[in-house]
Amino acid sequence: MLYTIAVVLVILWLIGLVSSYTIGGLIHILLVIAIVIILLRIISGRKPL
């Protein structure tokens, strides 16, 4: 489940990079959230993705 959310956030981030700069800020925030979630999983000792 968490892997799916992270993949969706990365895809949305890539779409934001190639589409417009107005939603780019939101997409970058979502990407940062996805990275934080993955790092928390690594720190807690679980499989990251």
Over residues 1-49, the pLDDT tens digits come to: 777 778 787 777 777 666 666 566 777 777 788 888 888 888 888 766 6
pLDDT score at 19: 66
Residue 30 domain flag: yes
Residue 33 domain flag: yes
Q: Helix axis angle, 24-43 relative to 2-18, nearest 10°?
A: 150
Residue 17 domain flag: yes
Residue 48 domain flag: no
Residue 23 domain flag: yes
For residue 24, give its domain range: 2-43
Residue 21 domain flag: yes
pTM value > 0.85: no
Which positions ≥6 away from 5 have C-beta within 8 Å? 34, 37
Which positions ≥6 away from 44 have C-beta within 8 Å? none
Which positions ≥6 away from 48 have C-beta within 8 Å? 38, 41, 42
- Overall domain count for the chain: 1
Residue 49 domain flag: no
